[in-house]
């Protein structure tokens, strides 16, 4: 419609108004791709790995649990026997001794690995001379296999030509130290070898965590007059929580699967004094050819891990979600 003499227009919108109404801000938003099809190439590429993990870990675990309720001997046979394998397992003294040994070994290994590893890392963090040399020497045992470590410490702890004989040759005739031949302390002889090999890795992890602490924190603690040990206990260690969690997982994995050291040092002896669950499972399945009993023992090891893992995972991740 035409503009009248006064310059006022009618109800028809002007050209400028029409342009604004069709602007980008008024257009309908573009549809986002369906969540399932996002990063589709990456998801397709990961299918073989996911399928393998599900088959090997989940599938084989379920298969083991199912056949632990059977009377399988040399070959797996699905003849259901209920809880007979578990009743027989927990009435076997060898299994009970192996559980007791694993508990002692696990607690001591966890505590001493963290304490020694952190202490060594704190000492190396003082910018001492020849730090690289000391770090390499302490870490070197971790490069050895458990079999080699076990054999070396079997020789060192042998009373005929090892540490005991060496000390006695110095004039200390009454000195006695033969843990591998004493049933009551044999597990501690295995623990010494494990600490010698694994503490270096924990030290390196702790040292990396300490080097990640901002130097201003140390400066502030010195200004406030806080003793160094309190700085470590109340400030530094809480800040290194992720490092301690990583170290805890590595140590726990080594505790559960301990086998090589026992075989190399004592082969379960004297008698059955140094038996561990992993050795019990392997010898039951492959030497005694009792698959059902071995599957039951494996399932109990899995249950033990889950009892520890599930509460930790709930506290670690469930609390964050609630927060």
List the pLDDT tens digit at each of the 323 positions of the chain. Answer: 444 444 444 454 444 444 444 555 555 555 555 666 677 788 888 888 888 988 888 899 999 999 999 999 988 888 999 999 999 999 999 999 999 999 999 999 999 999 999 999 999 988 888 888 998 999 999 999 999 999 999 999 998 888 999 999 999 889 999 999 999 999 999 999 999 999 999 999 999 999 999 889 988 998 988 898 999 999 999 999 989 988 998 898 889 889 999 999 999 989 999 999 999 999 999 888 899 999 999 999 988 888 877 877 777 776 555 54
What is the H or E stretch that residue 201 is in?
Answer: helix 186-211
What burial class does residue 299 get, using C-beta atoms within 10 Å of its C-beta: 0-12 exposed, 13-18 middle, 19+ buried? buried
Query: Residue 66 in contact with residue 215, Cβ under 8 Å?
Result: no
What is the H or E stretch that residue 297 is in?
Answer: helix 291-313
User: In this structure, what DSSP letter does residue 57 have?
Assistant: I
- Predicted local confidence at residue 95, as pLDDT: 95
pLDDT tens, residue by residue, 142-186 = 999 999 999 999 999 998 888 999 999 999 889 999 999 999 999
> Distance between CA 196 and CA 113 in Å, rounded?
9
Domain boundaries, the chain: 86-289
Kindly report the pTM of this predicted structure: 0.81
The CATH fold of domain 86-289: MetI-like fold (1.10.3720)
- Predicted local confidence at residue 6, as pLDDT: 47
> Distance between CA 81 and CA 67 in Å, rounded?
10
The full length of the chain comes to 323
């Amino acid at each position: 419609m035409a503009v009248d003499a006064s310059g006022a227009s009618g109800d028809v919108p002007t050209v400028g108004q029409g342009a604004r109404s069709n602007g980008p801000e008024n257009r309908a938003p573009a549809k986002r791709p369906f969540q399932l099809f996002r990063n589709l190439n990456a998801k397709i590429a990961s299918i073989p790995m996911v399928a393998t993990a599900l088959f090997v870990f989940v599938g084989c675990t379920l298969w083991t649990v199912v056949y632990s309720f059977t009377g399988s001997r040399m070959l797996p046979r699905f003849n259901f026997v209920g809880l007979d394998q578990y009743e027989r397992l927990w009435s076997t003294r060898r299994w009970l001794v192996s559980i007791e040994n694993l508990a002692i070994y696990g607690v001591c290994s966890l505590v001493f690995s963290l304490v020694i590893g952190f202490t060594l890392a704190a000492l190396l963090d003082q910018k001492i001379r020849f730090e690289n040399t000391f770090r390499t020497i302490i870490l070197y045992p971790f490069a050895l296999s458990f079999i080699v470590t076990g054999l070396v410490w079997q020789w060192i702890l042998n009373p005929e030509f090892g540490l005991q004989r060496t000390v006695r040759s110095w004039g200390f005739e009454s000195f006695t130290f033969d843990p591998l031949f004493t049933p009551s302390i044999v597990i501690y002889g295995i623990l010494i070898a494990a600490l010698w090999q694994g503490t270096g890795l924990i030290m390196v992890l702790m040292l990396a965590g300490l080097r990640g602490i901002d130097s201003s924190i140390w400066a502030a603690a010195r200004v406030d007059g806080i003793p160094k040990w309190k700085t470590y206990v109340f400030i530094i260690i809480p800040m290194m929580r992720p490092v301690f969690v990583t170290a805890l997982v590595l140590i726990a994995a080594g505790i559960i699967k301990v086998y090589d050291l026992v075989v190399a040092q004592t082969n379960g002896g004297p008698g059955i004094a140094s038996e561990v669950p992993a050795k019990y499972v392997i010898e039951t399945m492959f030497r005694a050819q009792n698959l059902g009993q071995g599957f039951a023992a494996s399932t109990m090891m899995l249950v033990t891990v889950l009892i520890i893992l599930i509460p930790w995972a709930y506290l670690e991740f469930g609390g964050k979600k609630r927060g």
